[in-house]
Structure 1
Amino acid sequence: MPIIVQKFGGSSVATPEKILAAARKAIRAKQEGNQVVMVVSAMGDTTDDLIDLANRITDKPPAREMDMLLSTGEQQSCALMAIAISSLGHKAVSLTGAQIGVKTDATFRKARIKSIETARLKKLLDEGNIIIAAGFQGIDDDFNITTLGRGGSDTTAVALAAVLRADACEIYTDVDGVYTTDPRVIPEARRVSRISYDEMLELASLGAGVMHSRSIEFGKKFDTPIHVRSSFTDVPGTMIVTEPERPDMPVCGAAITKDEARITVQGIPDKPGTSLEIFSRIAARNISVDMIVQNVGESGKADISFTVPKNELDASLDAVREGVKLVGAGTITSDDNVAKVSVVGLGMARQTGVAEKMFRALATAGINIGMITTSEIKISVLVPRDQSQQALRVVHSSFELEKAPTTPIKPWMPKHIGTDAAAVVARLQGLNMEDLTIDDVSLDSTQARVTILGVPDTPGIAAKVFEEVAAAGIFVDMIVQSYPTTEALATLSFTVPQEQLEHSVTVAKKVAASLACRGVTNSPKIAKLSVSGVGLRTHTGVAIRMFRSLAEAGINLDLINTSEVRVNVVVDGAQGEKGLKQLQTAFADVLR
């Protein structure tokens, strides 16, 4: 019999009436021939109220006791849901995280799931019960109650769907699916029928609050379909699966991240280990670094720029100052009045012209780009915060994301349980479910680098450069634009196929001359080293591990860019094979 996991968030169970409405959805799914597991969050603002209660006693409550306290919110919801289902004439059993057998590590307030027992769940399902599971919680090896942190009920739901090999995990919330951007900011945003795990991971990290990254990581790692639906309507919602809605479309969504701050370190010695000295100190303070841009150095010096959460700027600057003292860098600048605007799509890996289209839209609107970084499926730019909403609007419009597909969308078909299921079950045995998993450590030795020095810090420069490059039929992979120096000049680098280098340099020199840039340099043979996998966002330190491994081998980094599923660095071509071996060794314990 098919198994469906249904998750209902706090707004979906905020009142007795909403609890009864959710109960009817579960009963309907059971009457359609499914076994049903419900996962519920705490009612409405219950969690916030419990935190406030603790803070009225002390501003530093013990983390263990906070988990004990906060877990009661979900226990209340699941008991009430079981009562509601029973009142409607159907069998139901409510279970806490401990009763289910959700085993976690001992990190209170943000525990990770190690394993989930399924014997009791399957027995109760076979007896005809609808199971109501308390989300957001588990127990550690010493039987302490733990909570999973932000998005914990989503994580519980997708994890249960994974271990039960459910046919789908339905996430019921107060929105009716995933949109091309935030419809509260851009009203014309369109709901998509389907989105890939990788695309959703990128959008979740960029502020799309429909689901948390950890739950999407579970879905991808264990091939669990996730269906985002409205608690209040029967709108079809959005499926999060392996395949995108339209593989032929380069962009599926756009997003804005406003709570960013930028730090730039100029004049760093261009030698191995300098990046590690800075970023390891930031990581030691548990600060999440987002957009990292390191460009090619001049005269033995390089610049590094990166973004951090705005509320952690001061702590980040303290860490950077420590690192700068050791590496002997020059100046440190920062800006907490910036925002990141990004476009995401699996299709951009196979199509040219995406970057210049985005850059031209921003230039036409008079919006200056401070930094650029790209990955295989994402382009991000840093813009002034007061122009960020306009930037999102023009980018969303330029890719016509508000328009529905004009050709039929190929239907997504669920995979039948068989050899795939056996492979997943094998992966679930003998590992912690939320461990970092690296899918690939790779080397690309087919590219060359072109760098334009002294690029003026004015709107339209990036658009002009890449329109000329595209018009010349040159395929561009990585794009990295560093933050402008005190002379209001930036460095813009991009990688191209080696056979197109000569043509690329000619085009770059022509456009550089027209823009009064300082000059053009190139490297005919570079090595692009990449680490990709599941958990790069929630397991901080992947980039640090890369930097440390390469530094220990005396390998210098020329370019850096990052995404939710991949970290890329560019090194000298002669160091490629050596770098690959270093990274394979460094990630051997998590390489799948």
Structure 2
Amino acid sequence: MSLIVQKFGGTSVADAEKIRAAARRALRAQQQGAQVVMVVSAMGKNTDILVDLAGQVCDDPSPREMDMLLSTGEQVSVALVAMAIHDLGGKAVSLTGGQIGVLTDSSHTRARIQSIDTSRMRRLLDEGNIVIAAGFQGVDQELNITTLGRGGSDTSAVALAAVLGADMCEIYTDVDGVFTTDPRLVASARKMMQVSHDEMLELASLGAGVMHSRSIEFGKKFHVPIHVRNSGVFTDEPGTIIGPISESDDRPVSGCALTKEEARITIEGVPDEPGASLNIFRRLADLNITVDMILQTPGSEGKASISFTVVQGDLARALAAVRDAAAELGAGPISHDETVCKVSVVGLGMATQSGVADRMFRALAESNINIQAITTSEIKVSCLVKREQGLEALRAVHGEFELDRAPAKIVPFEASQKVSQAADLAAVVSGLQAMEDLTVQGCELDDSQALITMSHVPDQPGISADIFEGVAAEGIIVDMIVQGVGADGKTTVSFTVPASEIDSARKVVEELSSKLGGDVTASETVAILSVNGVGIRSHTGVSTRMFRALSESGINVELISTSEVKVNVVVAREQGDSGLRALKAAFADVVK
């Protein structure tokens, strides 16, 4: 018998009529032969009302009591849904997170799931019940009620689907599915039939509000297909399946996103030596500040420049930490900008198709949008631009990659793709202890690359487009691209190419520098070290652990780029092997 987890968000159970509609959906799925677990959020704005009440009672409520208070919203919903199912002739049992057996750590208001006991749910399902689970909550070892933070009900649903080996996790919400970008910002945005876990992880971290990145981490880690559907559509019209493969294998970009609330911090004069990056980023990790774009340009005269972005709300705390680090390192000056935003394109096809970056850069240049910084991964290119130009930038790149047009060839999702999956369910179950712990899939060394740096070039629209159009015209595949934050009207652009192509790439850049000015350096004696896995960004200590391992081995980091699933650093080639050994030792406890 198949098993389905259905999650209904707050807008999908906002009133009695919607609650009954959700109950009918679950009953219909059961009548079609599936066992059904529902995960339900608090009704409508209930959580906001409770937060407001707490503020009226107390200026600084304790996190433990906030969890006790906020968990009641889901308890109201699950009880009402159970009543509706009974009234419609079905059998249902409502359960709190604690009654289910959702065990978390003790980080109140932002707890992480440690394990889930499925015995009670399975017994109730076998007795013919629809199990209605309160999302967003669990209990710790002391039986204190905990809540999972933002996106917690999505996280609950995908986690339950993982431990139960569900055939599908259906997320019912007030949108039709996952779009190529936010349809409220770009009218031509198109609903995707499916999108890969990796692509959705990047899009979710970039601010795509349909799903929270923690729930997608579960989906990727435990091979759970997720079907995002509109709860207001009373038909079987499909939404978007988030699964193991992309929608299409013939186009490089699947979606794009605009992250508005970004702030950028730049530290000049950082000693170009082992341990400098560690000194900065361990302080941020200790404060649980999530760092997004990390940009370190190659050192000059023994000094390097490091820039990174944080959520705007974390800027003040991040600046305080950076000032402490700079004082210890003898670095400076420090600058920041809270009037920036980030536009990104995402797609699995980037890993195998060239020319994506230069097309994006040219589209921005033609809209007279200057790129302040660039970072890339295998499946993402992100550019920092002025916030006032963010919407125009998003529309420009969406149009450039014709994301409003359905791909010529769509790869259909097959149920057999769910778990390479059920064939190794024992391995999945064994991984459910400490479910949200960091999972590193591997540490890698690539010593086949060369590094080219173009420094002191004009910081103006079109520079990056000119560089990478020229490189692409030679058929050269670019791996990492890092453009540092400009100063005094000049900027630095660094990128890696196959060592066998360095002469052709250097020729392109030197011809361009002869027209624009600037200096060109090239090195064939570099290597790229990578740590990849699930939860790389949400676990703030990953970069710290990586930089510490390299620092303790006396290895200097020359260049950094980050993504949701990978951190890349460029080091000297002769230190590549020792660096790889250091990383494998540092992450041995979390490699799966």
User: Which TM class, normalised by the smaller chain length?
Assistant: over 0.9
Q: How far apart are 1:306 and its partner, in Å? A: 0.7
Matches within 5 A, 1:68-467: 68-233=68-233, 234=235, 235-407=237-409, 409-415=410-416, 420-421=421-422, 423-429=424-430, 431-467=433-469
Letter of the 2:371 partner, please give it: I
Q: How far apart are 1:567 and its partner, in Å? A: 0.4
* Matching residue of 1:46: 46
Q: How far apart are 1:301 and its partner, in Å? A: 1.0
Letter of the 1:302 partner, please give it: A
CA deviations on 1:258-306 (whole Å, 9 max, x unpaired) are 1011111111111111111111112222211111000111111110111
Letter of the 1:3 partner, please give it: L
Aligned partners of 1:202 and 1:563 also within 8 Å:
yes
Q: How far apart are 1:248 and its partner, in Å? A: 2.1
Over 3 Å counting, the alpha-carbon distance change for 1:422 and 1:119 in structure 2 is: farther
Q: Secondary structure at the match of 1:415?
A: helix
Equivalent-residue separation in structure 2 for 1:584 and 1:532 (angstroms): 12
Q: Does 1:17 align with 2:17?
A: yes
Equivalent-residue separation in structure 1 for 2:473 and 2:156 (angstroms): 49
Equivalent-residue separation in structure 1 for 2:585 and 2:154 (angstroms): 34
Letter of the 2:88 partner, please give it: L
Aligned partners of 1:373 and 1:479 also within 8 Å:
yes
Q: Does 1:495 align with 2:500?
A: no
Q: How far apart are 1:440 and its partner, in Å? A: 1.1
Equivalent-residue separation in structure 1 for 2:187 and 2:420 (angstroms): 44
Q: Secondary structure at the match of 1:295?
A: strand
Return the TM-score normalized by structure 1. Answer: 0.98
Equivalent-residue separation in structure 2 for 1:200 and 1:542 (angstroms): 20
Over 3 Å counting, the alpha-carbon distance change for 1:392 and 1:416 in structure 2 is: closer
Letter of the 1:320 partner, please give it: V
Aligned partners of 1:456 and 1:488 also within 8 Å:
yes
Equivalent-residue separation in structure 2 for 1:175 and 1:128 (angstroms): 31
* Matching residue of 1:60: 60
CA deviations on 1:417-448 (whole Å, 9 max, x unpaired) are 88732534334336211111000100000000
Return the TM-score normalized by structure 2. Answer: 0.98
Letter of the 1:143 partner, please give it: L
Aligned partners of 1:163 and 1:425 also within 8 Å:
no
* Matching residue of 1:509: 510
CA RMSD of aligned residues (A): 1.2
Q: Secondary structure at the match of 2:48?
A: helix
Letter of the 1:205 partner, please give it: S
Q: How far apart are 1:156 and its partner, in Å? A: 0.7
Over 3 Å counting, the alpha-carbon distance change for 1:425 and 1:537 in structure 2 is: farther
Q: How far apart are 1:123 and its partner, in Å? A: 1.1
CA deviations on 1:349-372 (whole Å, 9 max, x unpaired) are 100000000000000010000000
Letter of the 1:343 partner, please give it: V
Letter of the 1:413 partner, please give it: E
Aligned partners of 1:438 and 1:534 also within 8 Å:
yes
Equivalent-residue separation in structure 2 for 1:421 and 1:411 (angstroms): 20
Letter of the 2:393 partner, please give it: A
For these two proteins, the number of residue pairs brought into alignment is 589
Q: Secondary structure at the match of 1:86?
A: helix
Equivalent-residue separation in structure 1 for 2:418 and 2:188 (angstroms): 39
Q: Secondary structure at the match of 2:241?
A: strand
Q: How far apart are 1:53 and its partner, in Å? A: 0.9
Over 3 Å counting, the alpha-carbon distance change for 1:473 and 1:390 in structure 2 is: same
* Matching residue of 2:551: 551
Equivalent-residue separation in structure 2 for 1:505 and 1:534 (angstroms): 36
Aligned partners of 2:354 and 2:475 also within 8 Å:
no
Equivalent-residue separation in structure 2 for 1:139 and 1:106 (angstroms): 8
Equivalent-residue separation in structure 1 for 2:135 and 2:429 (angstroms): 20
Equivalent-residue separation in structure 2 for 1:538 and 1:476 (angstroms): 27
- Could you tell me which runs of 5 or more consecutive residues in structure 1 were left unpaired when the two chains were aligned: none
* Matching residue of 1:537: 537
Over 3 Å counting, the alpha-carbon distance change for 1:142 and 1:422 in structure 2 is: farther
Equivalent-residue separation in structure 2 for 1:396 and 1:354 (angstroms): 12
Letter of the 2:177 partner, please give it: G
Equivalent-residue separation in structure 1 for 2:39 and 2:315 (angstroms): 37
Letter of the 1:497 partner, please give it: P
Equivalent-residue separation in structure 2 for 1:239 and 1:418 (angstroms): 14
Task: Detail structure 1 runs of 4+ shifted over 2 Å in the superposition.
Answer: 415-431
Q: How far apart are 1:310 and its partner, in Å? A: 1.2
Equivalent-residue separation in structure 1 for 2:418 and 2:126 (angstroms): 19
Aligned partners of 1:137 and 1:146 also within 8 Å:
yes
Over 3 Å counting, the alpha-carbon distance change for 1:202 and 1:417 in structure 2 is: closer
Q: How far apart are 1:393 and its partner, in Å? A: 0.3
Letter of the 2:307 partner, please give it: S
CA deviations on 1:72-118 (whole Å, 9 max, x unpaired) are 10010000000001101111111111111111111111111111111
Aligned partners of 1:479 and 1:495 also within 8 Å:
yes
Letter of the 1:228 partner, please give it: V
Q: How far apart are 1:247 and its partner, in Å? A: 2.0
Letter of the 1:490 partner, please give it: T
Q: Percent identity?
A: 60
Q: How far apart are 1:330 and its partner, in Å? A: 2.5
Aligned partners of 1:268 and 1:274 also within 8 Å:
yes
Equivalent-residue separation in structure 1 for 2:365 and 2:429 (angstroms): 49
Over 3 Å counting, the alpha-carbon distance change for 1:411 and 1:581 in structure 2 is: same
Equivalent-residue separation in structure 2 for 1:126 and 1:427 (angstroms): 22
Equivalent-residue separation in structure 2 for 1:315 and 1:114 (angstroms): 29
Aligned partners of 2:178 and 2:240 also within 8 Å:
yes
* Matching residue of 2:7: 7
Letter of the 1:4 partner, please give it: I
Q: How far apart are 1:536 and its partner, in Å? A: 1.2
Letter of the 2:452 partner, please give it: V
Equivalent-residue separation in structure 1 for 2:104 and 2:317 (angstroms): 30
Aligned partners of 1:222 and 1:424 also within 8 Å:
no
Over 3 Å counting, the alpha-carbon distance change for 1:516 and 1:456 in structure 2 is: same
* Matching residue of 1:482: 484
Aligned partners of 2:158 and 2:169 also within 8 Å:
yes
Over 3 Å counting, the alpha-carbon distance change for 1:129 and 1:381 in structure 2 is: same
Q: Secondary structure at the match of 2:362?
A: helix
